[in-house]
């Protein structure tokens, strides 16, 4: 499982749209706070692998492509740990 | 904009995974409560249009394909109105 403390150090880019508190900074950006880590990992890997198109995928896919499995697990653990 | 009361009558299938309260019934299912209607509409249309693969898309795409724009707006308004 991911390490939320390590994840906190890896979300520098995410916060512009998803907030450090996991709440979307504009209506089109989903809230991540309190989603399960399992769901967040699944979504990030679908972006990374080029499976998830539409929506904001033009932004998300390039971001996800630079991430390791461990990065994704840590970042997901960070956001899953927050209260919405 | 969608009508949350009309949406309540259209979410009979959604609740198995996303709950009537908008909280995922298993970790792999995302919480929908309190997401913006704009985001939920975008996600549903990406499933309906076959753009969003990966994750649970094998379940979601067929569900979304039977929905009109109005259905999607109403269902999104219903879930956006809930507190997580």
Answer for the pair B40, B82: CB distance below 8 angstroms, yes or no. Answer: no
Q: Provide the 10 A C-beta neighbour count for residue B9.
A: 11
CB contact under 8 A, B36 and A27: yes
Which value does ipTM take for this structure?
A: 0.94
Domain coverage including residue A21: 4-80
CB contact under 8 A, B24 and A38: no
| Listed residue (A75, A84, A83, A5) closest to A39, CA to CA | A75
Mind listing the pLDDT tens digit for each residue in B25-61? 999 999 999 999 999 999 999 999 999 999 999 999 9
Q: What is the CATH number of the domain that holds B56?
A: 1.10.760.10
Distance CA A75, CA A58 (A): 20
Kindly state the tokens that stand for B7: 């949406």
Tally of domains within chain B:
1
State mean pLDDT over B2-29: 98
On whether any CB of chain B is under 8 Å from the CB of A49, the answer is yes
CB contact under 8 A, B24 and A36: yes
Distance CA A83, CA A5 (A): 16
Mind listing the pLDDT tens digit for each residue in A25-49? 999 999 999 999 999 999 999 999 9
């Amino acid at each position: 499982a991911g390490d939320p403390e390590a994840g906190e150090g890896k979300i520098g880019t995410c916060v512009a749209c998803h907030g450090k508190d996991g709440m979307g900074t504009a209506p089109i950006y989903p809230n991540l706070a309190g989603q399960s880590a399992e769901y967040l990992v699944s979504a990030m890997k679908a972006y990374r692998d080029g499976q998830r198109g539409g929506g904001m995928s033009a932004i998300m896919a390039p971001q996800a492509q630079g991430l390791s499995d461990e990065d994704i697990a840590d970042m997901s653990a960070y956001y899953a740990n927050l209260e919405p």
